[in-house]
Amino acid sequence: MSRIVYVNGDFVTEDEAKISVFDRGFLFADGIYEVSSILEGRLIDNAAHLARLKRSADELKLDLPMSTDDIEKAMLELLEKNGVHEGALYLQVTRGAADRDFGFPVDAKPSLVMFTQEKNLINSPAAEKGIAVISVDDIRWGRRDIKTVQLLAPVLAKQAAVEAGANDAWLVEEGFVTEGSSNNAYIVKDGVIITRHLSNSILHGITRAAVLKLVEQEGLKLEERPFTMQEAYEADEAFVTSATTFVWPVVKIDDAVMSNGAPGEISMKLRKLYIEEALKR
Ligand code: PDD
Protein backbone atom coordinates (compact mmCIF):
# COMPACT_ATOMS: atom_id res chain seq x y z
CA MET A 1 0.00 0.00 0.00
CA SER A 2 1.36 3.37 -0.99
CA ARG A 3 1.58 5.92 1.78
CA ILE A 4 -0.08 9.28 1.64
CA VAL A 5 2.47 12.02 2.14
CA TYR A 6 2.07 15.78 2.52
CA VAL A 7 3.75 18.17 0.09
CA ASN A 8 3.12 21.91 0.27
CA GLY A 9 -0.57 21.79 1.09
CA ASP A 10 -1.44 18.59 -0.79
CA PHE A 11 -1.97 15.06 0.43
CA VAL A 12 -0.72 12.76 -2.34
CA THR A 13 0.50 9.17 -2.72
CA GLU A 14 4.25 8.88 -2.24
CA ASP A 15 4.88 8.13 -5.93
CA GLU A 16 3.05 11.34 -6.91
CA ALA A 17 4.98 13.55 -4.48
CA LYS A 18 7.28 16.09 -6.13
CA ILE A 19 9.84 18.54 -4.84
CA SER A 20 11.90 20.81 -7.09
CA VAL A 21 15.56 20.01 -7.90
CA PHE A 22 16.10 23.70 -7.03
CA ASP A 23 14.81 23.20 -3.50
CA ARG A 24 17.37 24.64 -1.09
CA GLY A 25 16.96 21.66 1.19
CA PHE A 26 18.34 19.51 -1.63
CA LEU A 27 21.03 21.97 -2.76
CA PHE A 28 22.25 23.44 0.55
CA ALA A 29 20.64 21.41 3.37
CA ASP A 30 18.96 24.78 4.02
CA GLY A 31 16.15 23.33 6.06
CA ILE A 32 14.97 22.03 9.40
CA TYR A 33 13.02 19.01 10.56
CA GLU A 34 11.21 17.34 13.43
CA VAL A 35 10.39 13.74 14.21
CA SER A 36 7.39 13.12 16.48
CA SER A 37 6.62 9.66 17.75
CA ILE A 38 3.19 8.08 17.40
CA LEU A 39 1.69 5.82 20.06
CA GLU A 40 -1.86 4.48 19.92
CA GLY A 41 -2.45 6.73 16.90
CA ARG A 42 -1.50 9.90 18.79
CA LEU A 43 1.45 12.26 18.41
CA ILE A 44 3.60 12.30 21.54
CA ASP A 45 5.00 15.59 22.91
CA ASN A 46 3.95 17.30 19.69
CA ALA A 47 3.56 20.79 21.15
CA ALA A 48 7.20 20.68 22.25
CA HIS A 49 8.30 19.45 18.80
CA LEU A 50 6.42 22.30 17.13
CA ALA A 51 7.89 24.84 19.56
CA ARG A 52 11.39 23.57 18.70
CA LEU A 53 10.53 23.72 14.96
CA LYS A 54 9.57 27.38 15.37
CA ARG A 55 12.76 28.08 17.29
CA SER A 56 14.91 26.36 14.62
CA ALA A 57 13.11 28.38 11.92
CA ASP A 58 13.67 31.66 13.78
CA GLU A 59 17.35 30.90 14.33
CA LEU A 60 17.77 30.44 10.55
CA LYS A 61 15.47 33.39 9.66
CA LEU A 62 13.33 30.88 7.80
CA ASP A 63 9.60 31.61 7.62
CA LEU A 64 7.37 28.66 8.35
CA PRO A 65 4.83 28.39 5.49
CA MET A 66 1.96 28.42 8.00
CA SER A 67 1.32 28.71 11.72
CA THR A 68 2.35 25.85 13.99
CA ASP A 69 -1.37 25.35 14.76
CA ASP A 70 -2.08 24.81 11.07
CA ILE A 71 0.98 22.57 10.75
CA GLU A 72 -0.38 20.46 13.60
CA LYS A 73 -3.77 20.20 11.85
CA ALA A 74 -2.01 18.91 8.72
CA MET A 75 0.03 16.46 10.83
CA LEU A 76 -3.15 15.05 12.37
CA GLU A 77 -4.83 14.78 8.98
CA LEU A 78 -1.81 12.90 7.61
CA LEU A 79 -1.85 10.57 10.58
CA GLU A 80 -5.51 9.83 10.03
CA LYS A 81 -5.11 9.28 6.29
CA ASN A 82 -2.38 6.70 6.90
CA GLY A 83 -3.98 5.10 9.94
CA VAL A 84 -0.63 4.79 11.72
CA HIS A 85 -0.95 3.24 15.17
CA GLU A 86 2.71 3.25 16.22
CA GLY A 87 5.70 4.88 14.57
CA ALA A 88 6.89 8.34 13.67
CA LEU A 89 5.89 11.41 11.71
CA TYR A 90 8.72 13.20 9.91
CA LEU A 91 8.29 16.87 9.01
CA GLN A 92 10.69 19.03 7.03
CA VAL A 93 10.68 22.72 6.16
CA THR A 94 13.18 24.17 3.71
CA ARG A 95 13.76 27.70 2.44
CA GLY A 96 12.11 26.59 -0.81
CA ALA A 97 13.08 26.50 -4.47
CA ALA A 98 15.07 29.27 -6.15
CA ASP A 99 17.93 29.68 -8.63
CA ARG A 100 21.09 28.38 -7.00
CA ASP A 101 22.66 31.27 -5.12
CA PHE A 102 24.05 31.09 -1.59
CA GLY A 103 22.29 34.11 -0.05
CA PHE A 104 18.64 33.90 0.94
CA PRO A 105 16.32 34.17 -2.09
CA VAL A 106 13.88 37.08 -1.86
CA ASP A 107 10.81 35.43 -3.31
CA ALA A 108 11.12 31.69 -2.58
CA LYS A 109 8.22 30.03 -0.79
CA PRO A 110 9.30 27.67 1.98
CA SER A 111 8.59 23.98 1.33
CA LEU A 112 6.86 21.77 3.86
CA VAL A 113 6.82 18.00 3.49
CA MET A 114 5.68 15.30 5.90
CA PHE A 115 5.47 11.54 5.92
CA THR A 116 4.72 8.80 8.42
CA GLN A 117 6.66 5.63 9.19
CA GLU A 118 5.22 2.57 10.93
CA LYS A 119 7.60 1.26 13.59
CA ASN A 120 7.52 -0.86 16.72
CA LEU A 121 8.60 1.66 19.32
CA ILE A 122 7.46 -0.13 22.47
CA ASN A 123 8.41 -3.71 21.58
CA SER A 124 11.76 -3.05 20.01
CA PRO A 125 14.60 -5.60 20.26
CA ALA A 126 17.09 -2.77 20.87
CA ALA A 127 15.16 -1.78 23.98
CA GLU A 128 15.10 -5.33 25.29
CA LYS A 129 18.72 -6.24 24.57
CA GLY A 130 20.37 -2.84 24.64
CA ILE A 131 22.62 -1.36 21.99
CA ALA A 132 26.36 -1.18 21.36
CA VAL A 133 27.90 2.21 20.58
CA ILE A 134 31.30 3.28 19.33
CA SER A 135 32.93 6.67 19.86
CA VAL A 136 33.73 8.90 16.89
CA ASP A 137 34.92 12.50 16.54
CA ASP A 138 32.10 15.03 16.52
CA ILE A 139 32.72 16.81 13.21
CA ARG A 140 29.37 18.66 13.08
CA TRP A 141 28.94 22.43 12.85
CA GLY A 142 28.66 24.61 15.97
CA ARG A 143 24.84 25.07 16.05
CA ARG A 144 23.61 21.59 16.95
CA ASP A 145 20.78 23.18 18.92
CA ILE A 146 19.14 23.96 15.55
CA LYS A 147 17.55 20.82 14.13
CA THR A 148 18.79 21.17 10.54
CA VAL A 149 18.67 18.57 7.78
CA GLN A 150 22.44 18.90 7.45
CA LEU A 151 23.01 15.33 8.65
CA LEU A 152 26.04 14.03 6.75
CA ALA A 153 28.21 13.84 9.89
CA PRO A 154 25.61 11.69 11.75
CA VAL A 155 25.18 9.55 8.61
CA LEU A 156 28.94 8.87 8.55
CA ALA A 157 28.98 8.23 12.31
CA LYS A 158 26.10 5.75 12.11
CA GLN A 159 27.70 4.01 9.11
CA ALA A 160 31.03 3.73 10.98
CA ALA A 161 29.09 2.11 13.83
CA VAL A 162 27.43 -0.40 11.50
CA GLU A 163 30.80 -1.25 9.91
CA ALA A 164 32.25 -1.80 13.40
CA GLY A 165 29.41 -4.20 14.25
CA ALA A 166 27.75 -1.68 16.60
CA ASN A 167 24.35 0.03 16.53
CA ASP A 168 25.21 3.67 17.00
CA ALA A 169 27.96 6.19 17.66
CA TRP A 170 28.60 8.63 20.47
CA LEU A 171 30.17 11.86 19.29
CA VAL A 172 33.23 13.17 21.11
CA GLU A 173 34.55 16.72 21.07
CA GLU A 174 37.62 17.92 22.96
CA GLY A 175 37.57 14.72 25.03
CA PHE A 176 33.90 14.99 26.06
CA VAL A 177 30.82 13.25 24.73
CA THR A 178 28.40 15.69 23.12
CA GLU A 179 25.53 13.30 22.27
CA GLY A 180 24.63 10.27 20.19
CA SER A 181 24.44 10.51 16.38
CA SER A 182 20.64 10.98 16.62
CA ASN A 183 19.91 10.92 20.35
CA ASN A 184 21.01 12.36 23.67
CA ALA A 185 23.56 10.34 25.68
CA TYR A 186 23.62 9.49 29.40
CA ILE A 187 25.74 7.48 31.81
CA VAL A 188 24.91 6.36 35.33
CA LYS A 189 27.58 6.11 38.04
CA ASP A 190 26.89 5.27 41.69
CA GLY A 191 23.20 6.09 41.21
CA VAL A 192 23.89 9.49 39.60
CA ILE A 193 22.60 10.12 36.08
CA ILE A 194 25.03 12.23 34.07
CA THR A 195 24.19 13.93 30.77
CA ARG A 196 25.65 16.93 28.98
CA HIS A 197 24.10 20.29 29.86
CA LEU A 198 22.10 22.21 27.24
CA SER A 199 24.09 24.55 24.98
CA ASN A 200 24.69 25.05 21.24
CA SER A 201 26.76 21.83 21.32
CA ILE A 202 23.79 19.47 21.46
CA LEU A 203 20.21 19.20 20.31
CA HIS A 204 17.80 20.08 23.09
CA GLY A 205 15.97 16.77 23.01
CA ILE A 206 12.24 16.75 23.65
CA THR A 207 12.56 13.23 25.07
CA ARG A 208 15.52 14.42 27.18
CA ALA A 209 13.29 17.09 28.77
CA ALA A 210 10.51 14.55 29.45
CA VAL A 211 12.93 11.98 30.89
CA LEU A 212 14.66 14.55 33.11
CA LYS A 213 11.24 15.46 34.51
CA LEU A 214 10.78 11.79 35.43
CA VAL A 215 14.27 11.72 36.96
CA GLU A 216 13.22 14.61 39.20
CA GLN A 217 9.84 13.06 40.05
CA GLU A 218 11.55 9.81 41.04
CA GLY A 219 14.04 11.66 43.24
CA LEU A 220 16.98 10.29 41.22
CA LYS A 221 20.25 12.19 41.28
CA LEU A 222 21.19 14.14 38.16
CA GLU A 223 24.32 15.96 37.00
CA GLU A 224 24.04 17.98 33.80
CA ARG A 225 27.66 18.30 32.72
CA PRO A 226 30.06 17.03 30.05
CA PHE A 227 31.51 13.54 30.65
CA THR A 228 34.53 11.82 29.11
CA MET A 229 34.70 8.50 27.28
CA GLN A 230 36.77 7.17 30.21
CA GLU A 231 33.86 7.97 32.55
CA ALA A 232 31.56 6.24 30.08
CA TYR A 233 33.73 3.09 30.04
CA GLU A 234 33.68 3.01 33.83
CA ALA A 235 29.97 3.79 34.22
CA ASP A 236 27.51 1.36 35.84
CA GLU A 237 25.03 1.81 33.01
CA ALA A 238 24.33 4.00 30.01
CA PHE A 239 21.40 4.93 27.81
CA VAL A 240 20.19 7.20 25.01
CA THR A 241 16.93 9.08 24.46
CA SER A 242 15.08 10.32 21.38
CA ALA A 243 11.58 10.45 19.92
CA THR A 244 12.11 7.19 18.04
CA THR A 245 13.89 5.24 20.79
CA PHE A 246 12.31 6.75 23.93
CA VAL A 247 14.98 5.28 26.24
CA TRP A 248 17.34 2.65 24.84
CA PRO A 249 19.84 1.04 27.20
CA VAL A 250 23.47 0.97 26.02
CA VAL A 251 25.24 -2.28 26.90
CA LYS A 252 28.59 -1.74 25.17
CA ILE A 253 30.66 1.39 24.59
CA ASP A 254 33.67 0.74 22.34
CA ASP A 255 35.20 -2.32 24.07
CA ALA A 256 33.69 -1.67 27.51
CA VAL A 257 30.75 -3.89 28.45
CA MET A 258 28.16 -2.12 30.61
CA SER A 259 26.12 -3.67 33.40
CA ASN A 260 27.32 -7.20 32.47
CA GLY A 261 26.02 -6.77 28.95
CA ALA A 262 22.40 -6.42 30.04
CA PRO A 263 20.21 -3.28 30.11
CA GLY A 264 20.72 -1.30 33.31
CA GLU A 265 18.06 -1.02 35.99
CA ILE A 266 17.76 2.78 35.97
CA SER A 267 17.66 2.86 32.16
CA MET A 268 14.82 0.33 32.05
CA LYS A 269 12.93 2.05 34.84
CA LEU A 270 13.06 5.37 32.97
CA ARG A 271 11.99 3.66 29.74
CA LYS A 272 8.99 2.10 31.48
CA LEU A 273 8.02 5.38 33.15
CA TYR A 274 8.41 7.34 29.92
CA ILE A 275 6.12 4.97 28.01
CA GLU A 276 3.54 4.94 30.82
CA GLU A 277 3.51 8.73 30.87
CA ALA A 278 3.31 9.02 27.06
CA LEU A 279 0.37 6.61 26.91
CA LYS A 280 -1.49 8.63 29.55
CA ARG A 281 -1.44 11.85 27.52
N1 PDD B 1 16.84 12.68 16.28
N2 PDD B 1 20.32 14.61 19.42
C3 PDD B 1 20.32 14.51 18.07
C4 PDD B 1 21.56 14.84 17.33
C5 PDD B 1 19.15 14.09 17.39
O6 PDD B 1 19.15 14.01 16.07
C7 PDD B 1 18.00 13.77 18.15
C8 PDD B 1 16.70 13.32 17.50
C9 PDD B 1 18.05 13.89 19.55
C10 PDD B 1 16.86 13.60 20.44
O11 PDD B 1 15.87 14.59 20.29
P12 PDD B 1 14.33 14.25 20.55
O13 PDD B 1 14.25 13.64 21.89
O14 PDD B 1 13.66 15.56 20.45
O15 PDD B 1 13.93 13.27 19.44
C16 PDD B 1 19.22 14.33 20.15
C17 PDD B 1 15.65 12.30 15.53
C18 PDD B 1 14.83 11.29 16.24
C19 PDD B 1 16.08 11.87 14.13
O20 PDD B 1 16.94 12.56 13.59
O21 PDD B 1 15.53 10.91 13.58
- Ligand 1 in reach of 252 Cβ (< 6 A): no
- Ligand 1 in reach of 259 Cβ (< 6 A): no
- Ligand 1 in reach of 37 Cβ (< 6 A): no
The alpha carbon of 35 and the centre of ligand 1 are apart by a number of angstroms equal to: 8
- Ligand 1 in reach of 209 Cβ (< 6 A): no
- The predicted model scores a pTM of 0.97
- Cα distances (Å, whole numbers) of residue 151 to 29, 148, 156, 228: 8, 7, 9, 24
Flag whether pLDDT at 167 surpasses 80: yes
The alpha carbon of 106 and the centre of ligand 1 are apart by a number of angstroms equal to: 31
Radius of gyration, CA atoms only, the chain = 19
Q: Whose CA is nearest to atom 11 of ligand 1?
A: 205
* CA 227, 232, 236, 238 torsion-angle sign: positive
Q: Where are the domains of the chain?
A: 4-118, 125-280
Q: pLDDT band for position 1 (50/70/90)? A: low
Residue 162 is classified by DSSP as: H
Look over the chain and give the mean of its residue pLDDT values, rounded to a whole number.
97
The alpha carbon of 205 and the centre of ligand 1 are apart by a number of angstroms equal to: 6
CATH assignment, 125-280: 3.20.10.10
Q: Whose CA is nearest to atom 9 of ligand 1?
A: 183
**Nearest residue to 206 (alpha-carbon basis) of 70, 56, 65:** 56
- Ligand 1 in reach of 267 Cβ (< 6 A): no
**Greatest distance between any 2 Cα atoms in the chain:** 58
For the CA of 48, the closest atom of ligand 1 is 14
**pLDDT for the residue numbered 152:** 98
Q: pLDDT band for position 2 (50/70/90)? A: confident
Q: Average pLDDT for residues 139-158, to the nearest whole number?
A: 98
**Nearest residue to 212 (alpha-carbon basis) of 169, 270, 278:** 270
User: Residues 61, 73, 109, 147: which is the catalytic one?
Assistant: 147
The alpha carbon of 16 and the centre of ligand 1 are apart by a number of angstroms equal to: 29
Flag whether pLDDT at 254 surpasses 80: yes
Please state, in angstroms and rounded to a whole number, the distance separating the CA atoms of residues 79 and 85.
9
269 carries an active-site annotation? no
pLDDT in tens, 24-43: 999 999 999 999 999 999 99
CATH assignment, 4-118: 3.30.470.10
- Ligand 1 in reach of 36 Cβ (< 6 A): no
